[in-house]
Structure 1
């Protein structure tokens, strides 16, 4: 095959659905990829699966599949996604149910598993990037998921899967898998894998590369963001890439939007570590090739490390928070008095918090007193948040903010409070030999 067209249907779990439907219906695609996992998302999904063995996959999976399975089947578009999160098998079963409800008999759905490596990580007592080992987290550990690569996805496609659902795969690997399948790239064709990884990295965040995250009014103007179109990548067999979008959709594809996305979340452009390859973007060249068309080439690669990044999810602490607004003359002064009152109340009542934050949103919440410009806004919103060991202790923080309604100062409104358990993520490296991805094929 000389080239393939891959569309990006989502850049995160809660992304818009309409752009993906447009791509499925009129994108002329070979593949539609939904990238829906963030660092912490899968640990939260593991929490859900503990409560419900049939849960733990992306909550929008059924809605997305219901919207795109029909047009994808009509147009010969295959779907790849990490919406399986903590439970790819259950996600595949849910997708089969959607397909049957739509009358799509014979649809083949592959669940790629093997990224759940909690037992292997415990057995190795892996070292954490942040210090210590897995054992040091004790019984707070929820999950350990390794970032698997493109080849299990390619194998599922080779087995005839119309839909491939993974758990924790590396983001670019979701796009690299179809390339490996379509072009027959070998596992040691480092330059091809490096170029394919670069293409996947440019496409993985969906609307970011078509101008969404790029937009800055008056500096970098982008048209019609309410109808932002998601990107299409035309990839050649040598890994060269053309980034574009559907005509008539909002946003912009330019050399500048592509360059910003190329550098997004990259520590060293010459050493971008992935499960399949160490990609090198340092020689990349980017050129405008017409309206909303940008050509990208020059990527390379070198041998993979044999180690897989692994995300360790664990219960870190609890956060208690309270907010209330003040408006009109003296809003800042009343807000500051309210902060003093809450600070004193927390001390008087003996709330035990390891960390506290006292902010006036609109004045100093992001950068503190040093960078506030001395202006007096018409309205401010007070926010008090603290880190505690228990939910009960966390709840006391928001309660004290709420009492400002009747215990001063004047004019507070819109009080809100919450107490929640915080799931954190630590990173570790696990030998690739300890991870054994496989796939299960279901048919509607």
Structure 2
């Protein structure tokens, strides 16, 4: 598009070509210049931004209520401030959820900026996600059902119902995940910049594509395709090289200072994932598969406007940095939407001590016994909500340096009374000179001092009970006027069925794949993992475009998939979890056969999830990489086909011995 055609896109081009939607943020930390990059480095029709992780709004809720925080995300404002003149020049529309707790406040600030600069841009904001007033009296009105309440196999983590059962756990925020209907209405009313609070991560992309193609409410296949397109680009650079399991096979200098993803969504919902040619990063079938598998709930992906049925998803490279995604089917949305409730849960503290080399296990045994003795003598050992002694790492045999010989003990504690945590901290002094051989730690023990923390209760809420609106602004300063247009929920719902979970059809005998060697599963398989509250998802797949991949035309490609789906059962995943497995966890398993992926949801593995989780990896970001490092019986020819050197003598003995040179 030439510059003089920018203004014509909404009249002449809308609906006649794919809509180009660029994302500029996946979390509040993404700097504002990413919005400017997406606007100035190439042609796009929309820029979307997802600034909210589940805990963002809650972090600032109390400060906002006390007038100490604006309630919206600063980086969202920074992006608009840096980009607003380019938006007006190129007629690019912006949809972001950076309004967080106060979308009205950010929208009014943007409206003043637009008026001050004399720009022809209409600003609007979404309301209706904030349900704090409705949730304040849960002891009288009742607590909404838990997100996993319809799954009888799932065991809630300890203290999940504290906000209902204990009077000292006040709710600080409650926000429903809205769909795209308010965004759609705002665009239909001429809005150029739409500020939302807790709309679902993909809702801005759905709204943009819905408006561009003038879909009907029941164009479910197209809406579902847009939902997946939004899912693929919502996480900053995750689809352009960040958080990518196969990163080590690429030049490391290509993996930072990258530009973020763009989705070209077609009329039928099919999309092409791409990026601007400028700057670094890359889009391949493998980066797209990794992001597709991130934070899934199984084979059905939910939004307030549509259910996306993922079983037959396909991806295919169409050119450099261009990957087509199709095969998504849609269905009516569920009658409920997700509701994120955060509450003051108590006090949290953490102590980290180090040990080096010889006798490390016994050193940590001693320290744990000593600390528990002290807590018992203080009468508080059984007063903690959570008290865990976590051993992180193992010393390297024949260490090359002291750092290679050092690991640490992490003592993690949560309690309702800060005096309980302070009792734990007091033992650092009491036993300061009664430690194990070579005891040391950082010089700063501020994390041992208890700090208040909020915890998460994921719920569901009826869509029909929401009171939502789009609000269009005009004027400036004290003269800003608001035109409020109420919106309505979807006209049709479909109840959720029990989630699918199954082992593979027609499994192959593992012996049919030939001689095996003990090797890391990650030598032939990529993975991506993430969190869904207290649950973790993990997807494993056969790569297609790593430098070491088999060509898609190679028999090894299909055969390695047959091996993966036959080998990677629910029982096998439990085995791979090793000492981390707990019988209170529950696993669901599905497959995406057209992208050669096996997907799991592990319920309960993250405890209460988010800020209340005791896990070091509380968001399960590293779970997939840990499991890729687990050793299993891998067919030798798959390893050799991927360029992994196999030591013949060790192969004969079946004890392992393979390595892959790093680039």
Evaluate the alpha carbon distance shift between residue 191 and residue 216 of structure 1 in structure 2; reply closer, same or farther with a 3 A threshold.
closer
Query: Is 1:440 aligned to residue 455 of structure 2?
Result: no
Aligned: 1:52 with 2:67: yes
Q: 1:336 to 1:15 in 2, by over 3 A?
A: farther
Establish whether residue 155 from structure 1 lines up as the match of residue 185 from structure 2.
yes
The Cα shift of 1:273 comes to 1.8
Deviations 1:390-414 (A, max 9, x none): 2333244345346776664556242
Cα separation, 2, equivalents of 1:12 and 1:140: 26
1:261 match: 291
Q: CA deviation at 1:243?
A: 0.8
Q: Does the alignment pair 1:286 with 2:315? A: yes
Distance 1:402 1:378 in 2: 26
Distance 2:461 2:439 in 1: 56
Matching of residue 128 in structure 1 with residue 128 in structure 2: no
Partner of 1:109: 123
- SS of 1:256's partner is helix
What SS does structure 2 have at the residue aligned with 1:394? helix
- The superposition leaves residues 149-173 of structure 1 with CA deviations (integer Å, 9 ceiling, x where unpaired) of 1110111122222211111111111
User: Larger deviation: 40-49 or 245-254?
Assistant: 40-49
Shift of 1:298: 2.0
* TM-fit CA distance, 1:36: 1.3
Among candidates 176, 189, 197, match of residue 167 of structure 1: 197
Q: Which has the higher contact order (CA 8 A, sep 6+)?
A: 1
CA contact (8 A) 1:225 1:251 kept: yes
CA-to-partner distance for each residue in 1:19-63, whole Å, 9 max, x for gaps?
333212113111111101122222223233232276322243333
TM-superposed deviation, 1:219: 5.4
Provide, for residues 118-158 of structure 1, a one-character-per-residue CA deviation record: whole Å limited to 9, x for no partner.
44455464222366698546552223211111110111122
Select which of 412, 416, 422 maps to 2:440.
412
Q: Return the offset for 1:291.
A: 1.1
- CA drift at 1:326: 5.2
CA positional deviation for 1:74? 3.0
CA–CA separation in structure 2 for the residues paired with 1:9 and 1:108:
20
Match runs of 1:265-414 below 5 Å: 265-269=295-299, 271-325=300-354, 337-351=366-380, 352-363=383-394, 377-401=404-428, 408=435, 410=438, 412-414=440-442
CA distance, structure 2, for counterparts of residue 134 and residue 343 of structure 1:
28
Contact conserved, 1:9 with 1:33, CA < 8 A, in 2? yes
CA displacement, residues 217-247 of structure 1 (integer Å, 9 cap, x when unaligned): 5457765112222101111222221111121
Distance 1:337 1:375 in 2: 24
Which runs of 5 or more residues in structure 2 are unaligned? Answer: 1-13, 150-160, 477-663
Most deviating of 219-228 and 194-203: 219-228
Distance 1:308 1:118 in 2: 16
Tell me the TM-score normalized by structure 2: 0.60
SS of match in other structure, 1:64: helix
Asked if structure 1 preserves the Cα contact closer than 8 Å seen for 2:340 and 2:456, the reply is yes
Contact 1:11 1:36 in 2 (8 A): yes
Which stretch of structure 1 is more off in the superposition, 72-81 or 176-185? 72-81
> What corresponds to 1:42 in structure 2?
57
Report how far residue 289 of structure 1 moved: 0.8
Question: What is the CA deviation profile of residues 373-406 of structure 1, one whole-angstrom value per residue up to 9, with x for unaligned ones?
Answer: 8786422344221111123332443453467766
Query: Partners in 2 of 1:8 and 1:400 — Cα distance?
Result: 49
CA gap 1:390/1:6 in 2 versus in 1, 3 angstroms = same
Shift of 1:301: 0.4
Kept in 2: contact 1:125–1:133 (CA 8 A): no
Q: Which deviates more from structure 2 when the two are superposed, residues 405-414 or residues 29-38?
A: 405-414
Deviations 1:290-333 (A, max 9, x none): 11111112222011122222112222332111224456877776
**Deviating more after overlay: 66-75 vs 33-42:** 66-75
- Aligned 1:68-79 pairs, distance under 5 A: 68-79=83-94
Q: Tell me the SS of whatever aligns to 2:24.
A: strand
Cα distance, 1:279 vs structure 2: 1.0
- Take 1:404 and 1:69, find their aligned partners in 2: how far apart are those partners? 59
Indicate if the aligned counterparts of 1:110 and 1:164 stay in contact, CA closer than 8 A: yes
**1:417–1:401 CA distance, 2 compared to 1 (3 A):** farther
Match of 2:457 in 1: 426
SS in 2 for 1:21: helix
Per the alignment, in what secondary structure is the counterpart of residue 347 of structure 1? helix
> Could you give the per-residue CA deviations for residues 160-208 of structure 1, whole angstroms, max 9, x where no partner exists?
2221111111111111011111111111111111111111111111211
TM alignment of 1:214-253, pairs within 5 A: 214-218=244-248, 224-253=254-283
Structure 1 residues 179 and 217: CA distance shift in structure 2, 3 A: closer
- Counterparts of 1:322 and 1:85 in 2: how far apart (Å)? 33
Tell me if structure 2 keeps the 8 A contact 1:311–1:425.
yes
**Closer/same/farther in 2, CA of residues 206 and 54 from structure 1, 3 Å limit:** closer
Q: Which runs of 5+ in 1 are unaligned?
A: 364-371
- Matches of 1:434 and 1:137 in 2, distance apart? 27
Aligned to 1:313, what secondary structure does the other structure show? strand
- The structure-2 alpha-carbon separation of the partners of 1:374 and 1:243, relative to structure 1 and needing over 3 Å to count, comes to same
**Rg larger in 1 or in 2?**
2
Measure, in 2, the Cα distance between the counterparts of 1:233 and 1:282: 21
The farther-off stretch of 63-72 and 289-298 is 63-72
What SS does the aligned partner of 1:424 have?
strand
Q: Give the Cα–Cα distance (whole angstroms) in 2 for the partners of residues 406 and 58 of structure 1.
A: 46
Question: TM-score w.r.t. structure 1 length?
Answer: 0.87
The answer to whether the 8 A contact 1:223-1:252 is kept is: no
